[in-house]
Amino acid sequence: MEQTTEGNRGLQNRHIQLIAIAGTIGTGLFLGAGKTIRMTGPSIIFAYIIIGIAMFFFLRTIGEMLYQDPSQHSFLNFVTKYAGTRIGYFTQWSYWLVLVFVCISELTAIGTYVQFWLPQIPLWLIEVVMLALLFSLNTLNARFFGETEFWFAIIKVAAILGMIVTAIILMISQFSYTTTIHHATIHGTVSFANILNGFQLFPRGVWNFIGALQMVMFAFTSMEFIGMTAAETVNPRKTLPRAINQIPIRILIFYVGALLAIMAIFDWNNVPADKSPFVMVFQLIGIKWAAALVNFVVLTSAGSALNSSLFSATRNMYALAKQHDRGGLTAFTKLSRHGIPLNALYLAGALALFAPILTLIPQIKNAFDFAASCTTNLFLIVYFITVFSFWKYRKSSDFDPNGFLTPKAKITVPLVVLVFAIVFISLFFNSETLYPAIGAVVWTVLFGLFSYFKKINPENLS
């Protein structure tokens, strides 16, 4: 499945490299960390390590296939090639739907951040305005997109490194503070002892630990973009292994490092579940202007994710329309003078408007959690199919025993499936994620049957 359009040729190597680094940092960390810390305490570190290891080996399976055939611009092409055209058709459309849900979840996150400054403005109105702004940016050429993402990535990386350095300085100086959280006065001292004092592996119970894996998983979703962007460079067989093998280091620095910094600054029992801990950290130590600055940083992170998701959803719809241009999708193949498939962008933008709709539904207590659950569910389904395609590749004549092999694949890949399965099953036992989980199953069954019985020309999916 071709991911690019005629206009998507403006990305330079510096764009790709920094976007790949920042691609390991998701909104799930910035906004969801508070909830997961509250649920599991310091053991959230282990949750991020477990999911991080699983994602690393999963990306190695994608990297192994891309290394063998770097002419493919998307891992979805391997699904069609090794699992069959019908499964490929199902996966390509499911992945496009995933990207739409990413747009929705990131838009809800943006609304939450903007309300930090404008609490009197309705959330749905903020979401509509921000969507219109980023929609406008996506009507420009691909080079402008790359430049925007480049600076978004710099801000995002600098924010986490700044958080870690701040925690180290405050620990060395044994900084003490007094603040108010939810009408309660809190006294604290920044110390690594805040993490270790009274440590319990499952302070809120084993089930809360398992339940937190869903939000952690959401923080890692879309990481497959790293392999796809590396595959677009001049020498993919050189850049691809390096980009994927650096992921464990990035996880330790950005995820584990940031979480340790947060929990060293204040007792994890005091972390608000409904706010970004990155913002709360600076509020807790009394630097009010820094809290606004960090809120701006996490806002740009969510804006970056929404910008990328709109870009990707638009290009995926364009590619799907090109494959099926004899049907009713021809309108989505038309390009603007800047090489942008505007009709595909209009569709992605229209579907993203479900974010303010979710905000207005009283039965949905947390629109971000709901949209993030939908995103995670569909990503996991696509990931399961990708792993299945990897095994089919391993049994094919294309398998290169001297390539960029997945380490101990017979052991590590089943462990990846096990971790993903635990996350997916856990969604059915949480009231906030139950309906999205059921929806993912309904989609898989109904659209899976549709894909099975639909007449598909294999040449369209090549």
Closest CA to 307 of 156, 148, 159, 160: 148
CATH value at residue 238? 1.20.1740.10
149 CA to centre of own chain:
15
Looking at the 3D structure of the chain, how many domains does it have?
Answer: 1
- Does residue 5 form part of some domain? no
Phi-psi region of 194 (alpha: psi -120 to 50; beta: other; left: phi over 0): alpha
Structure confidence at residue 446 (pLDDT): 96
For 89-137, the pLDDT digits (tens) are: 999 999 999 999 989 988 998 888 898 888 899 989 999 999 998 888 7
- Does residue 262 form part of some domain? yes
Q: Cα dist. 285→143, 170, 176, 251 in Å?
A: 40, 10, 8, 26
- Does residue 1 form part of some domain? no
Q: Helix or strand or coil: residue 177?
A: strand
Q: In whole angstroms, how large is the CA radius of gyration of the chain?
A: 22
Query: Which segments in the chain show pLDDT lower than 70?
Result: 1-28, 31-32, 73, 141-146, 181-182, 226-234, 274, 283-286, 324-327, 456-462
Nearest-angstrom CA–CA distance, 99 and 320: 14
Query: 450 forms bridges with which residues in the sheet?
Result: none
Structure confidence at residue 424 (pLDDT): 94
Closest CA to 281 of 105, 33, 25, 114: 33
Helix (H) or strand (E) holding 274, with range, is: none
191, 264 Cβ separation under 8 angstroms: yes
- Eight-state DSSP code of residue 24: T
Q: Helix or strand or coil: residue 341?
A: coil
- Does residue 7 form part of some domain? no
- Does residue 327 form part of some domain? yes
Nearest-angstrom CA–CA distance, 273 and 33: 8
Structure confidence at residue 4 (pLDDT): 43
- Does residue 3 form part of some domain? no
Question: Can you read off the two tokens belonging to residue 439?
Answer: 């929806």
Nearest-angstrom CA–CA distance, 139 and 169: 43
- Does residue 6 form part of some domain? no
**Alpha-helical runs (H) found in 41-84:** 44-68, 76-83
Structure confidence at residue 453 (pLDDT): 87
- Does residue 338 form part of some domain? yes
100, 306 Cβ separation under 8 angstroms: no
Range of the domain at 57: 13-461
Whole-model pTM: value is 0.85
Structure confidence at residue 334 (pLDDT): 84
Torsion of CA 63, 65, 70, 74, to 10 degrees: -80
